[in-house]
């Protein structure tokens, strides 16, 4: 039986690529805006606002997609707002059946009303703690530095400082074209010396050079998106694939790809789900994982991303479990904890749902 959305929701899922400021509830944005007198929301009706985000993000360009974050970031400037948004994020993910999530955000964007970077991080950690209590979910935090800014070293230091209390890694995000990862080489080298983990948004709005730099110059553990790795794969008429050196390296080293299908359609990185590189990359056994990126802007959830892939590629429960185990193996958690979740939660959970009438 082909997995249905309702049953997919019950399966224990893992999410590695989700932005805190891309997943707010529309009702919450309206309430928070009212509290701080933020008057620039495109609508104060939650339903209209939700639609506005989805339509405005569906722009065909990453740069225009990112403009929608002005509004979510604007209402996430106080401790109370950050705690609330993070707590609701954990609850919404738990309601979708996510058992382990890594949620990222850029602390430097949340200091306009006077919070320090430390206060921002502490508020978000507190929110995740409150929201995940008793919900069967564990949430790790990734700290993001904005690639067009110059604060990556500071944010990397922040990530290391909070590594034992919930921050599990580091990332860079924002417009990709014109801002290569090597701009932040000092931050990545610092993290490597500290034995810390990081992922890099690469190969989303820019091609192979971005992926190559992220891996071979910066030492990224994982790639955010990485869809353009298909530019290094040639398909022959008989369906066989020839991998270039970079694609072969990514596959051989099992470098995880944090793929976000719906987000890619909106930013123009892929034309349709059916044509999304995830189909080929999964067939070639790259370490593919399935993610939401921004649940608000893409009006999605992990379950809905899975359901779309089931529709487009005919995936069965074994495929969905494979994506999930890939994600858990690639998490920035200690090995024994990853193993415990795979063997104690994911495999038994999928087995139960698969055989349920």
Ligand X SMILES: O=c1[nH]cnc2c1ncn2[C@@H]1O[C@H](CO)[C@@H](O)[C@H]1O
The residues annotated as belonging to the active site are 204
Taking CB under 5 A as the rule, does residue 102 contact Zn ion? no
Q: Select from 112-120, 238-246, 267-275, 288-296 the region that touches Zn ion (CB under 5 A).
A: 288-296
Both tokens assigned to 293? 């990126």
Both tokens assigned to 109? 């964007």
Nearest residue (CB) to ligand X, 131 versus 261: 261
Closest approach, Cβ 273 to ligand X, in A, equals 16
Q: At what angle do helices 317-330 and 347-355 cross, to 10 degrees?
A: 170
Nearest residue (CB) to ligand X, 68 versus 78: 68
Q: Which residue is nearest to ligand X (CB)?
A: 173
Q: Per-residue b/e over 182-216, b at no fewer than 16 CB within 10 Å?
A: ebbeebbebbeeeebbbbbbbbbbbbbebbbbbbe
Closest approach, Cβ 268 to Zn ion, in A, equals 15
- Could you tell me which of 139, 100, 142 has the C-alpha nearest to residue 289? 100
> Is residue 71 marked as binding?
no
Nearest residue (CB) to ligand X, 264 versus 321: 264
Count of chain residues binding Zn ion (CB under 5 A): 1
Report d(CA 299, CA 297) in Å as an integer: 6
What secondary structure letter does DSSP report for 2? P
Both tokens assigned to 205? 């709005």
Closest approach, Cβ 204 to Zn ion, in A, equals 8
Give the neighbor-by-neighbor strand order of the sheet with 257-259: 199-202, 222-225, 257-259, 288-290
Torsion from C-alpha of 107, 112, 118, 119, nearest 10 degrees: -120
- Could you tell me which of 317, 324, 219, 225 has the C-alpha nearest to residue 265? 225
Can you tell me which residue has the tokens 């990453």?
Answer: 62
22 binds, among Zn ion, ligand X, none (CB under 5 to 8 A by kind): ligand X
Report d(CA 56, CA 266) in Å as an integer: 9
Contact yes or no for 39/75 (Cβ under 8 A) = no
Closest approach, Cβ 260 to ligand X, in A, equals 7
> Is residue 18 marked as binding?
no
The residues, ordered by sequence, that sit 6+ positions from 109 with a Cβ below 8 Å of its Cβ are 21, 73, 76, 146
> Is residue 21 marked as binding?
yes
Nearest residue (CB) to ligand X, 96 versus 204: 204
Closest approach, Cβ 124 to ligand X, in A, equals 11
Taking CB under 5 A as the rule, does residue 293 contact Zn ion? yes
> Is residue 201 marked as binding?
yes
Helix (H) or strand (E) holding 130: helix 117-132
Q: Select from 24-32, 52-60, 211-219, 290-298 the region that touches Zn ion (CB under 5 A).
A: 290-298
- What's phi and psi for 202, nearest 5 deg? -155, 140
Taking CB under 5 A as the rule, does residue 18 contact Zn ion? no
Nearest residue (CB) to ligand X, 26 versus 85: 85
Closest approach, Cβ 293 to Zn ion, in A, equals 5
What residues line the site for ligand X (CB under 6 A)? 19, 21-22, 62, 66, 69, 73, 104-106, 109, 144, 173-174, 201, 204, 263, 293-294
Nearest residue (CB) to ligand X, 105 versus 188: 105
For the annotated binding site for Zn(2+), the residues are 17, 19, 201, 293
Q: List residues forming the annotated binding site for substrate.
A: 19, 21, 174
Q: Write out the residues near Zn ion by the rule CB under 5 A.
A: 293
């Amino acid at each position: 039986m082909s997995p249905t959305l309702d049953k997919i929701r019950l399966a224990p899922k893992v999410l590695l690529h989700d932005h805190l400021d891309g997943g707010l509830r529309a009702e919450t944005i309206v309430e928070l805006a009212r509290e701080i007198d933020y008057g620039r929301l495109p609508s104060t009706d939650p339903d209209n606002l939700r639609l506005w985000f989805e339509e405005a993000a569906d722009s065909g360009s990453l740069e225009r997609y990112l403009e929608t974050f002005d509004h979510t970031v604007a209402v996430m400037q106080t401790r109370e707002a950050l705690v609330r948004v993070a707590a609701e994020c954990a609850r919404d993910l738990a309601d979708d059946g996510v058992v382990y999530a890594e949620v990222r955000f850029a602390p430097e964007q949340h200091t306009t009303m006077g919070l320090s970077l430390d206060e921002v991080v502490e508020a978000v950690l507190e929110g995740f703690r409150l929201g995940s209590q008793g919900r069967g979910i564990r949430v790790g935090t990734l700290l993001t530095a904005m690639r067009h800014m110059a604060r990556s070293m500071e944010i990397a230091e922040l990530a290391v400082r909070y590594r034992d209390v919930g921050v599990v890694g580091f990332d860079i995000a924002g417009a990709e074209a014109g801002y290569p990862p090597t701009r932040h080489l000092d931050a990545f080298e610092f993290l490597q010396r500290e034995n810390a983990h990081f992922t890099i948004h690469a190969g989303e709005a820019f091609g192979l050079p971005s992926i190559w730099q992220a891996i071979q110059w910066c030492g990224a553990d994982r790639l955010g998106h990485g869809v353009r790795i298909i530019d290094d794969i040639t398909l022959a008429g008989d369906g066989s694939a020839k991998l270039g050196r970079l694609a072969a390296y990514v596959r051989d080293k099992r470098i995880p790809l944090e793929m976000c299908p719906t987000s890619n359609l909106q930013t123009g990185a892929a034309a349709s789900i059916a044509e999304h590189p995830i189909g080929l990359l999964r067939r070639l056994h790259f370490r593919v994982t399935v993610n939401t990126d921004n649940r608000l802007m893409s009006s999605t959830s992990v379950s809905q991303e899975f359901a779309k892939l089931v529709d487009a590629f005919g995936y069965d429960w074994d495929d969905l479990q494979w994506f999930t185990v890939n994600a858990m193996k690639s998490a920035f958690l200690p090995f024994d904890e990853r193993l415990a979740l795979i063997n104690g939660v994911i495999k038994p959970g999928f087995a139960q749902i698969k055989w349920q009438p």
